[in-house]
Amino acid sequence: MRISQNSMAYNPRSLAMYVDMNSFFASCEQQDNEALRGKPVGVITHPSEYACVIAPSVEAKRFGVKTGMRLPDCRALCPQMIPVLARPYIYRQYHMKIMEVLNSYCTDVIARSIDEAVINLTSYHMVYPDPMELARRIKADIAATCGQFVKCSIGIAPNAFLAKLATELQKPDGLIRITPENIDSHLEKLQLTDLPGIARANERRLHMIGIKTPLQMRHSSDALLRRAFGGVVGNYWHRRLNFMETDIYQNDYRGMSATRTVSRQQREDPQALESLFISLCTRLEQRMVKQKAFCKEINFYVRYHNAPAWDVKIRLDQPTQDALEMRQYISQHIKVFEKENKCKLFNNSVQGMGVSIANFVKGERIQYGLFDNKINQDKARAVLYEIKDKYDKNIVRKASETVQPHEMRDAIGFGSVKDLYIADGVTDRSTNQYLLEDDSPEAAKNKISPKQAKELAKQSGNLPAGQVGKKQQSTPATPTQNEDDKYYYPTKEDEWEGIDIIADMQTEFAA
């Protein structure tokens, strides 16, 4: 289902507000941990001295630390920077709180990513005559709901793109409004690459036809920009810079993917590689169930340290949603490869693997065979995830999920956050609780079984079960820590988990 509010007509009364959280992951960590406040922090994807920083705090950015840098490079710029292991479920919970605040003011809100959202205020002129005052109220409510260290920049403009651009003009904690009267004064201070979606390649294209600045780009003709970008994308850029709406929409998924880089311990353990393979398929199954979708195309790849990568594309006659079915289809091709090449695909040279799916069919459009039992299987699968949502993601599991279940650590996905919402994130406000739980190996170690709870109750004088559980969870066994290990546990260089790439094949403001 495509939800679009775009228009080719310029409406001088149109109004969009863009909310962009500042250093979001690092700010959440500082809000949760008082010891990190006011200090340079870098959120990392895995516990290693060579990890990638996916979110530097505002304090770290002042030293020149940027997203994507490796820890050694960050410490060369900022020796006192504190690395903190990412906690994806925490950032999703903060996202839900922020969305709750925004939805309390307007029903026309679209989450663009885990830390960004756009609000269409065109129909709210009588409700909020002063959008700047509304923005201040939203900032205050986010601070009251999430904490004073979780800040945002807000941009206001006649369309979503210019509102997004306004958030880039003043950070952190900025508030800028772009209007037809002041847009030229803002653009004349910028370079082409300051525009969201204009990278070096697009800058070169524009230079080739004589456009050197955003101000020149805005006053160029529709036809000239179309020539620069080689097609309709040029029309979109002309409309964006001239107050027409092209970016308030939300599509269904065109594709999903889950990938992992393999650690040294994993690549030396065939069962660990198999468990990781199953986990990748299971992650995609869970996402399809929540989106009520089935796929007709499966892609799988394996990368190696010292050999060419291997990949396969599988097109299905009958759409599937089941993880073990996907695994079975891929395994058939793996067996053919191994037989022809007389070698094992999963060996101690594996560097990473990934599964992606595409060509989706909505559940209500599935045509079942007359003699198969897939209807009941699909219903049972949906019920399985409803139980997981209601009670706990590990309260019921498939047998395949019980063998080395923590080979794939949870990781945050960049881009779309439609996974957090069941069906879609606009018309259906129900939440995917599955992604709001702590699924880390550390959390699993601190959980107690019903049998353990009963034993503890006997030992502690028959306390109520709820109190016993709280008592047990409040004092988990923790390893002795050095000062350098305070926020994460460093391991050897190649002992780390990779990033789960969640893609919907939709580029925001891209040329």
Catalytically annotated residues = 116
Encode burial over 21-54: b for 16+ CB neighbours within 10 A, e otherwise.
Answer: bbbbbbbbbbbbbeebbeebbbbbbbbbbebbbb
| Residue 490 contacts residue 483 (beta carbons within 8 Å) | no
Q: Is 61 helix (H, G, I), strand (E, B) or coil?
A: helix
DSSP labels for 422-460? SS-TTT---B-GGGGS--SHHHHHH---HHHHHHHHHHT
Helix (H) or strand (E) segment spanning residue 325:
helix 323-341
Tell me the helix, strand and coil percentages in the chain, rounded to 5.
40, 20, 40
**Whole-angstrom distance, CA of residue 84 vs CA of residue 47:** 9
- Residue 370: CA count within 13 A, CB half-sphere: 0
Q: Is 381 helix (H, G, I), strand (E, B) or coil?
A: helix
**Whole-angstrom distance, CA of residue 164 vs CA of residue 162:** 5
Of 156, 162, 231, 170, whose CA–CA distance to 197 is shortest?
162
Torsion sign across C-alpha atoms 52, 56, 59, 65: positive
Sheet holding 53-56, edge to edge: 53-56, 41-44, 82-85
Q: What are phi and psi of 52, to 5 degrees?
A: -95, 135
DSSP labels for 285-302? HHHHHHHTEEEEEEEEEE
**Whole-angstrom distance, CA of residue 117 vs CA of residue 99:** 8
Which residues have a Cβ under 8 Å from the Cβ of 373 and sit 6 or more positions away?
none
